[in-house]
Each structure stands twice: as structure tokens, then as C-alpha cells.
């Protein structure tokens, strides 16, 4: 342990002393955290709490990617809703069966003062206010095949906090190409899911989902609601898994998946399949390369747009 004595300054010892007092999380783990870097893709409902806790715990460098601006919510400003209509729409929506997009009103990192400004700026300011000693890197752009490798290469661990199907395949493939562990969280309505992909021989996203879901599953449901605290819980759990991977402490949620049902307060951790030999990204005969990744059309593959446009109600 004394070999790390050079890496924690007196200020750092003071700041992280609560961690250092943990029997199972000592000086070495905190030193690992301080040396590590985490890229959070998406600064919305999942990304906001994940970013706050990653900054607070003392990850050395935290990158934030998002192209969006802070809005009071994502509904079209000009809409007018009357209650009868809203209820009708709610009914409709419950049959609309959304599976792919759920932006979150309650992105706790973004204060009203930042409405209209970049989400990355807003998130970075919040992180710096909590812990000025962490290096925060702002990537104010959409994460696309053209910039993904270049951005992700500089980080050790990736947190997928996005909200659409093509981004999830793209981020997975980029992690496989670059060999980065991927902390994947998702939330919709009152449910949430969490797992760690591409970690230590475990499965990747494509091992579980080789084929994208049918677009009929998402066609008439440009948006669905979400209770903000649900992505809050999943985002915190993503931070926890990233901290465990970064500090090399504990057993990350690889080969297992956490399923949260908020309404019934049921949480289960289930065992999922291992790495698939047939996987087109990470399998035995996979031929995924940086060049192939750059050329792959994820919107075409999933038949869904990378950037989810705000719901426009036509009542």
C-alpha cells in the first residue's frame, strides 16, 4: 500500500477520507480511481446522477458527450393540451408500446438557470461545483461513427446513458473495437435495467441482442413518459459499477442484469448468457475493425434515428 503514498496528496486524503476508512475500499482503490477516466455518453436522466457521483468520488477524468440543450422538458413548447385530450393520448400511448425513447424531465443536474444552454456545459459546471479537483472534459457534439473512436480512445471506462437503439449498438461496437468495459443503463416508464458489457470476457450488447428490435415496436410512439427518479436510481447504479471497475474492487455486474420495477418495488438480479462465439462484434469470427465501425450505418441497421427528436403532439 505504501507504494501509492506518492499519489494521494494531503488534500486528497482529506477529501476522500471516508473512502479510505472503508475496510474493503482503501488507499489502493482510491488511487486506482484517481488514475482512471470515465466517458459518460448522454447527460440526461441517467447521465446526470452518474456524472455527479463519478465527479464526487474522485475519478481522475470524466468526459461528457451530448449535443443537446437543456429544456424545461422535451415536449414541443407550443402545444396546448386539454385534459380530455391528454387522457385520450395517455390511453393511446399505453397501447403505443414505446420501447426506444424516453427523455427525462427530471435531469437533476440541469438547473432552470441553464435552460437553452448546452447540457454538457451545464453538467460540467455541476460536476466542477461538487469537486473542483476532478478534470471534466466537455464534448459538445453528437456521438457518431465519425468521432466515436477518437473520443472514446482517451477513456478507460464507458457509461452508456443514451436513449435510443442505434446509439446503443454504436457505443457497444466502439467499446468492443477499443476494448473498453461498458456500463449500460436504461429506463422507461417505471422500469429500469442495468448491466456491464464487454468486461473481462463477459458478453457484449450484441451477444444478447444480435438483431435489433422490429421498428413496429417503436413506430407510433415517438416518446413515452418516465418518472425521473427511475433513471436516477439506474444512473446511481451505473456510477457504482463504473467505480467498482475503475477501482478494481468488488464484482461488477457482468454476465448478470439488474431489473428494476419501481411500481412494485421489485428488484431482481438475473444471470444472463456469456460471450457468444457467434457474436458479430466480439465472437470468434467477428471481423469488426475501426474502419468497419466507421463505415457502419447504425441508423439503417436499426431503422431508427440516432437523435431522438422531441415528441410533437398533434391534438
Partner 1 sequence: MQLTLEFGGGLELLCNSVKIHQVNVGTQAEGMKQLTMKHLLSWVRTNLIKERPEMFMKGDTVRPGVLVLINDCDWELSGQLETVLEEKDVVVFISTLHGG
288 binds Zn ion per the rule CB under 5 A: no
Length of the chain equals 315
Size of site (CB under 8 A) for partner 1 = 53
15 binds its own copies per the rule CB under 8 A: yes
Residue number closest to Zn ion, CB atom:
279
Q: Which of residues 58-87 bind its own copies (CB under 8 A)?
A: 72-75, 77, 80-81, 83-84, 86-87
* CA gap 282, 288 in Å, rounded: 8
Tell me the residue ranges of DSSP E strands in the chain. 37-41, 61-65, 135-139, 157-160, 182-188, 191-197, 256-261, 266-271
- Taking CB under 8 A as the criterion, the residue among 124, 170, 226, 279 binding its own copies is 226
281 binds Zn ion per the rule CB under 5 A: yes
Instruction: Classify 174 in phi/psi space as left (phi over 0), alpha (psi -120 to 50) or beta.
Output: alpha
271 binds partner 1 per the rule CB under 8 A: yes
* CA gap 142, 283 in Å, rounded: 28
**261 burial class (0-12, 13-18, 19+ CB within 10 angstroms)?**
middle
What grid cell was written down for 56?
Answer: 464526487
142 binds its own copies per the rule CB under 8 A: no
Least Å distance, CB 80 to partner 1, is: 26
Q: Which of residues 269-288 bind its own copies (CB under 8 A)?
A: 269
315 binds its own copies per the rule CB under 8 A: no
**Residue 66 phi, psi dihedral angles, 5° rounding:** -170, 145
Classify each residue of 11-34 as buried b or exposed e, where b means 16 or more C-beta atoms within 10 Å of its C-beta: ebeebbeebbeeeebbbebbbbbb
CB atoms within 10 A of CB 107: 26
44 binds its own copies per the rule CB under 8 A: no
Q: By rule CB under 8 A, what string of x and - marks binding of each residue 49-88 to partner 1?
A: ----------------------------------------
**Among candidates 23, 24, 30, 25, which has minimal Cα distance to 7?**
30
Report helix, strand or coil for 25. strand
CB atoms within 10 A of CB 36: 22
Least Å distance, CB 182 to partner 1, is: 14
- When the beta carbons of 17 and 278 are compared against its own copies, the nearer one is 17
Strand partners, 69: 118
Interface stretch with Zn ion, choices 8-16, 52-60, 229-237, 278-286 (CB under 5 A)? 278-286
Q: Which of residues 180-239 bind Zn ion (CB under 5 A)?
A: 204, 206-207
Q: Which positions touch Zn ion (CB under 5 A)?
A: 204, 206-207, 279, 281-282
Q: Which positions touch partner 1 (CB under 8 A)?
A: 23-24, 42, 44-47, 94-95, 97-104, 161-165, 168, 185-189, 191-193, 208-214, 216-217, 224, 226, 231, 257, 259, 261, 264, 268-273
Amino acid at each position: 500500500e505504501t507504494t501509492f503514498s506518492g499519489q494521494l496528496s494531503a488534500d486528497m486524503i482529506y477529501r476522500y477520507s471516508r473512502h479510505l476508512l472503508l475496510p474493503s475500499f482503501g488507499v489502493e482503490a482510491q488511487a486506482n480511481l484517481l488514475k482512471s477516466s470515465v466517458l459518460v455518453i448522454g447527460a440526461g436522466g441517467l447521465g446526470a446522477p452518474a456524472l455527479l457521483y463519478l465527479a464526487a468520488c474522485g475519478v481522475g477524468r470524466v468526459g461528457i458527450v451530448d449535443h443537446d440543450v437543456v429544456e424545461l422538458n422535451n415536449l414541443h413548447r407550443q402545444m396546448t393540451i386539454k385534459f380530455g385530450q391528454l387522457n385520450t393520448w395517455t390511453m393511446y400511448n399505453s397501447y403505443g408500446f414505446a420501447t426506444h425513447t424516453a427523455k427525462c424531465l427530471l435531469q437533476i443536474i440541469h438547473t432552470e438557470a441553464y435552460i437553452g444552454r448546452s447540457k454538457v456545459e451545464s453538467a460540467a459546471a455541476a460536476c466542477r461545483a461538487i469537486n473542483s479537483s476532478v478534470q471534466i472534459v466537455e464534448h459538445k457534439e453528437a456521438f457518431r461513427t465519425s468521432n466515436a473512436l477518437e473520443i472514446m480512445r482517451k477513456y478507460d471506462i464507458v457509461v452508456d446513458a443514451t436513449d435510443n437503439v442505434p446509439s446503443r449498438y454504436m457505443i457497444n461496437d466502439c467499446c468492443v473495437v477499443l476494448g473498453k468495459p461498458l456500463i449500460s443503463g436504461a429506463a422507461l416508464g417505471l422500469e429500469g435495467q442495468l448491466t456491464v458489457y464487454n468486461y473481462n470476457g463477459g458478453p457484449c450488447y450484441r451477444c444478447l441482442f444480435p438483431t435489433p428490435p422490429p421498428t413496429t415496436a417503436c413506430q407510433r410512439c415517438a416518446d413515452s413518459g418516465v418518472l425521473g427518479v427511475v433513471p436516477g436510481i439506474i444512473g446511481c447504479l451505473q456510477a457504482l459499477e463504473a467505480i467498482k471497475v475503475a477501482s478494481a474492487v468488488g464484482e461488477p455486474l457482468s454476465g448478470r442484469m439488474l431489473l428494476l420495477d419501481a411500481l412494485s418495488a421489485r428488484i431482481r438480479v438475473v444471470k444472463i448468457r456469456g460471450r457468444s462465439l457467434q457474436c458479430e462484434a466480439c465472437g470468434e469470427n467477428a471481423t469488426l475493425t475501426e474502419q468497419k465501425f466507421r463505415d457502419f450505418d447504425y441508423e439503417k441497421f436499426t431503422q431508427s434515428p440516432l437523435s431522438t427528436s422531441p415528441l410533437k403532439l398533434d391534438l
